[in-house]
Chains A and B, each alone.
Chain A
Amino acid sequence: MPSSHITVALVEDEPETHARLLSALASDATIDVIFATNAAKPMLQWMVSKMGELSPSVLLVDLGLPDQSGLDVIRLCKAMHPTTEVMVITMFGDEANMIRAFEAGASGYLLKDGTESELSEHVRTLHGGGSPMSPIIARQLLSRMGRAKKEADAGGAPHTALKEGLTKPNSDGLLTDREEQVLQFLSRGYSYGELAKQMGVTINTIQTHIRGLYAKLEVNSKSQAIEQARQRGFFEA
C-alpha cells in the first residue's frame, strides 16, 4: 500500500448505504478500505486488535448502530487511535444533534442525502485538515459556546480581543473573538472562501479555526467529564 494512500474503516448498519459508501470509496484509487462492518462491537474489537499497530486515517461511523451507540465507537477510537480522523455518517437534518459527536471527538460529517458520491472527496478533505461546518451547526455552537463566553466575560474571566489574522489559543475552552466571528459568518451562509476573503486570511486559516472549534468541543467535553468524575470522588485515594 503506497504511503500516500488514505486508509478508511467503515461501520454502517444500513445495507444499501453501506454498499453505496463502499462503492464510492472503491472508485477512488487513493483510498483503501481496510475494515468494514455493520455493528459497533466488531469495529471495537478490530480497533483493539490494531492498537499500536495500525490506525486508519479515517473512521466513517454511523451514529445509529444496532448494538451500541456510535458515540461510544468515536470515543473509544479517539482513545485507542488518536491520530484517526472520525467522520460521522448522519441523516441530513440532524445537524443540531451532531454536537455530541464532535464532543466525542469527531471532526467531520457526511450527510446521507444522496450526495455520497462525493464521499471520496470529503474523506480526502478531512484527511487534509479540512472540516465541514453547516450553518445550523455554526448556529448551535454560537448559542452554546457564545453563552459560556458571555458568562465568563461577565464573571471577569480574562478575555483578550485578538489581533487581525491571529487566533490566540484559548485553553479555557471558550470562544475567541476570531472563532466567534467565523461562526457568525458561517451561520449566515458564507462559504469558507468568502469568509477567508472577508477576514483577509487564507482558507487554510479558516479550516484551522474550524478544526480548533471541534477540538475545543472535545476538550470541553473531556474537561466536564473529568470535573464530574472529580466531584464524584473518583480521583480520591
Chain B
Amino acid sequence: MQVTVAGKNTLVDKQSLPFRWDFNFPGENGRAQYAISLPANSGAINREMYAVYIPRVGNQVHAYLNGYLLDAPSALDDSLQDASKQPYWLSIPSVLLLPNRPNILRLDTTVQALRWGGLSEIYYGPERELRWQYAWSYWWQQSSYLVIFSSLFLMGMISWALWLKQREGLYGLFALSAMWGGLSAINQFSATAWLPWPLQGITASVALAWHIVFMTRFTLGIAGRTSPWVRLTLLASALSVGIAFVLAEPIYWTLTVALLLLPIVAALIYTARAVDQDQSKQAKLLFVVSLVVALTALRDLFVVHLSAQGMSHFTLLPHTLFLYVIMMGWILVQRYTEQHQLYHQLNVTLEQRVKEREQQLSHSFEKIQMQGEERARLVERQRIMSDIHDGVGGQLVGLVNMMKRGEANQSLFDQKQLSEHAQMALDELRVAVDAMQPVDGDLATVLATLRYRLEPRLKASDIALAWRVQVLPIMVDLTPQKVLQIQRILLEAFTNIIKHSHATTATMVAQHKPSVPCVQIVLVDDGVGFDPDTLTSQGHGLGNMRFRAQAIGAKLSMTKGLPKGSVLTLEIPIA
C-alpha cells in the first residue's frame, strides 16, 4: 500500500488490513492509495457479476480496476463528504476483469484526522454472496439511524408538549436528550456534512455526548434521584470533545469517550439502588436498560475506539440508548393507564356524589315546591276569604243591619229590600264559587255560567236576554281572580238592569277584536237609561265596576243607548 502524508509518499509495510489512519498518522490529514490484487477467478468466463464490499473506507474515495475509474462518489479532498459513514459497495463489470490472472483494484482516498480514515478488510466475490453482508452492514450504519431519528423526533415532540403543558422536569430532560440524539443521528445517516471538518465532528460529538448526559439525567429522574452535576458534566464533555478535536490526537478522543462512561455508570449504580429500594417493574426495567447501555458503552470503547480492528466494527451505543426511547414510551403508557384508572375512579366517585347531591337537591326542590304550594294555597285561601268577606260578607252585614233597623222600627222593615239583599248575598256567593271552576281559559264559558245563574232572575223580572257570544280566543291569563272581577262587574250591571232599568230586553254581545287585541263585552238594555250629566262614580255601583275593571287592566265605559236604555262596554286585553 502506498500512503501519502503532507505531500510525501510513504510506503506502509503493513500489508494486512484493516488499516487505521489515525493510529498510523495521528493528527494528520493526507492521502492514501491502496492497491489490492484481486484473485483470478472465472467471473470473466461465466459472466457472473462480481463485487467488492468494504465495511468501512474513509474519507473520500475513488476506485479504479486495472487502471479504469470505476467509482468516484465525491471529489477527493471534499471534506463535506464522508464515505466512512456507510459500507462501501463496488460492482465489478465482468468485461473489465482479466481472465486467469490477478486484477488490480486501486483505491485513492483523502483522509481527515479523527474521521475514521483508513480501510477495513475487503470482501471480493460474486454479488449474490456479498449482498446480504452489505445490506446487514448498511442497516446498522444507515437505516437504523433513520429509525432512531424518527423515534427520537416523535417522542421528543410528545415530551416537549407534555413539558410545556405540565412543566414536569422528566419530560423536559427527555425532550432535550431526544433533540441532541436526533442531531447526532442526522449526522450519522447523512453522507453530506453541514459544516466543514472538524467543526462537523465537534458538533456531532457534542450532540452525542449531551444526548448521553441528558438521557442519564432522565434515567436518574425516573429512579427518583437528582444530580447537581448536570451542568458540569455538559460543560466537561463539550470541553473534552473540543480539546480532542483541536489537538486531533486519538488518545484524547478515546479519553472523551471514556469520560462519557462516567454518567452512564452513575446511572447504572443509582438504578441498581432503586431496584434495591423499590422492587417495582419500572425500576427493574430501568436497571436492565442502564446495564445494557453501560455494557454497550464499554464494548464500543474497547472494540471500536481502542482497537485497530475498530475499522471493521461499528458503535452500538446510539442503538442501545434507543432503549430509553422505548422506556419513555412505556412510562407514558403506564402513566396514561394510571391516569385513566384514576379518572375512572374519580368518575365513579363523582357520579356517586352527583347522585347524592341530586337527591339532596330533589329533597330541597320538593321542600321548596311544598313551601311554594303551601304559600300559593295560603294566598288563594286569603283571596277566597277576602272575596267572601267583601262580597257575601258585605251583603250579609247589610242584611243584618236592615233587619236590626226593622226590629227597632217596624216602619223601616222592608221585606222586598231584605229579599233583594239576601238574593245579592247569594249571587255574590255563586260568583265567588264559580270563579274557581275550571274554564280552560275560555271567557265564553265564564259569561255562560253567569247567564246560567242569572237566567231565572231575569225571567222572573220579565226581561228577555238576547245572547250573542261568539267564539272567543283562549286567554291563558284568565285566573280565578280575573274571572271573579269580570263576573262581579257583569253581576252589578245585570242587577242594575233588573232593579233600576225597567227594561224588557237585554242584549249581551261578546266578540274578539284582534286589532286591539281584546275581548269586547257589550251589555245593552232598553230601559229608562240614565242622565250622563247626573251620573256620578257612585251611581249604580259604577265606581265599583270601574275599580274592578282597572284591577284587571280592562276598560269600562257606560253610555246612553239609542233610542233609550244604556250601553255598558268592557274591553279586556288579551295577553
- List residues of A whose CB falls within 8 A of some B CB: 92-93, 95-96, 113-115, 134-136, 138-140, 143, 184, 186-191, 194
Contact = CB atoms under 8 A, between A and B. Distances in A.
B101 to A, nearest CB: 107
B439 A136 contact: yes
9 contacts: A96-B438, A134-B449, A134-B452, A136-B434, A139-B440, A186-B448, A187-B442, A189-B444, A189-B469
Nearest to B450: A189
A123 to B, nearest CB: 17
Interface in B432-485: 433-434, 436-440, 442, 444-445, 447-452, 455-456, 467, 469-471
A20 to B, nearest CB: 15
B439 A139 contact: yes
Contacts of B131: none
A93 to B, nearest CB: 4
B513 to A, nearest CB: 17
B62 interface: no
Contact of A189 (B426, B434, B436, B447): B447
Contacts of B449: 134-136, 189
Given A188-B444, A189-B444, A189-B451, A136 B437 contact: yes
B555 interface: no
B430 interface: yes
A143 B440 contact: yes
A135 B448 CA distance: 6
A233 to B, nearest CB: 36
Nearest to A140: B438
Contacts of B438: 96, 136, 139-140
Contacts of B440: 139, 143
Contacts of A188: 444-445, 447-448, 469-471
A218 B449 CA distance: 25
Contacts of A114: 426
Nearest to A115: B456
A93 B448 contact: no
Majority-rule SS of A interface residues: helix
Interface in B465-519: 467, 469-471
B442 A139 contact: yes
B458 to A, nearest CB: 11
Given A136-B445, A188-B448, A92 B467 contact: no
Given A96-B437, A136-B449, A189 B467 contact: yes
A117 B433 CA distance: 22
A92 B433 contact: yes
A143 B437 CA distance: 14
Contacts of A93: 430, 433-434, 436-437
Given A95-B437, A143-B440, 12 more contacts: A93-B436, A96-B437, A113-B430, A115-B456, A135-B448, A136-B445, A188-B470, A189-B448, A189-B452, A189-B469, A190-B469, A191-B455
A114 B470 CA distance: 31
Contacts of A92: 430, 433
Contacts of B469: 188-190
Nearest to A186: B448
A194 B442 CA distance: 20
A189 B430 CA distance: 16
Contacts of B456: 115
B431 to A, nearest CB: 10
Contacts of A113: 426, 430
Contacts of B450: 189
A187 B469 CA distance: 10
A187 B446 CA distance: 9
Contacts of A190: 448, 467, 469
A74 B451 CA distance: 30
A220 B448 CA distance: 27
Contacts of B452: 134-135, 189
Contact of A191 (B442, B447, B467, B471): B467
A191 B440 CA distance: 21
A140 B448 CA distance: 13
B467 A187 contact: no
A187 B510 CA distance: 14
Contacts of A136: 434, 437-439, 445, 449
B234 to A, nearest CB: 82
Nearest to B436: A93
Given A184-B471, A188-B469, A139 B436 contact: no
Nearest to A136: B437
B426 A187 contact: no
Contacts of A194: 467
Contacts of B433: 92-93
A135 B445 contact: yes
Contacts of B439: 136, 139
Contacts of A143: 440
A113 B442 CA distance: 24
Contacts of A115: 456
A16 B509 CA distance: 40
B497 to A, nearest CB: 17
Nearest to B423: A114
Nearest to A91: B433
A4 B87 CA distance: 133
B290 to A, nearest CB: 77
Centre residue among B434, B436, B450 by max chain A CB count within 10 A:
B434
Contacts of B437: 93, 95-96, 136
Interface in B183-200: none
Q: Shortest 4 CB-CB distances between A and B: which pairs? A: A189-B448, A135-B448, A93-B433, A188-B444
Contacts of A186: 448
A194 B508 CA distance: 14
Nearest to B444: A188
A93 B447 CA distance: 15
A134 B434 CA distance: 12
Nearest to B433: A93
A31 B445 CA distance: 34
Contacts of B447: 188-189
Nearest to B435: A93
A190 B451 CA distance: 9
Nearest to A118: B456
B511 to A, nearest CB: 12
A229 B453 CA distance: 41
